[in-house]
Structure 1
């Protein structure tokens, strides 16, 4: 049996974190979330380009940036996945399938973005 939508969302987005931010920032949170929806794909694009051009330092920096920015907006699944990938990259894990992991990161971003779009108040 698949998890109910609320349980699935709780694995993607930290609702408590967003509630704290909304209490602190009010409507400005929506602007921050909109900016994140633009910036996060750009970070992923840098990661993909660094992979293609063989720039490991740039790749690690992009993944680190994704980890932090996702954590800041409560996208916990994405932040955790980026953190795990960052550790594997820094450790030069020979078993790492980087293309598969970047695809997972893309899919994880898409899930987070879908949830965040629903949370932005009109």
Structure 2
């Protein structure tokens, strides 16, 4: 059975949050979303670099940044996955497959970015 695109989108983007932000910010929201589309990959790349450099504090800071910025633009799937990863990192979970989780974050970003690009009006 094919997946309903509206259901998939509702798990990726909180459109109600973005509607509220648009009501508050008007067209300025488009600039915020464009900035997020540029900044979020840089934060994710920073997480990868911190992982490769063996810098757990920098990694945790990057993941926290992903969580917050994603939540700010209604990218709820990405924010939720980053939150869960952040909790595992804080507990130093030995079962954590960090490389797989970082790839998962990147996949979530790509899904969110795809939806967000369609919402930018100007």
Decide: shared fold, TM above 0.5.
Answer: yes
Aligned counterpart, 1:49: 49
Q: For residues 97-112 of structure 1, what are the structure 2 equivalents within 5 Å?
A: 97-112=97-112
Aligned counterpart, 1:19: 19
Report the TM-score when normalising by structure 1.
0.99
Report the secondary structure of 1:121's partner residue. coil
- Listed as ranges, the gaps of 5+ residues in structure 1 are none
Runs (4+) of structure 1 moved beyond 3 Å? Answer: none
- Listed as ranges, the gaps of 5+ residues in structure 2 are none
Tell whether 2:54 aligns with 1:30.
Answer: no
- How many residue pairs get matched? 122
The 1-side partners of 2:2 and 2:63 are apart by 30
Q: CA deviation at 1:3?
A: 2.0
> RMSD of the TM alignment (CA)?
0.5
Aligned counterpart, 1:90: 90
Report the TM-score when normalising by structure 2.
0.99
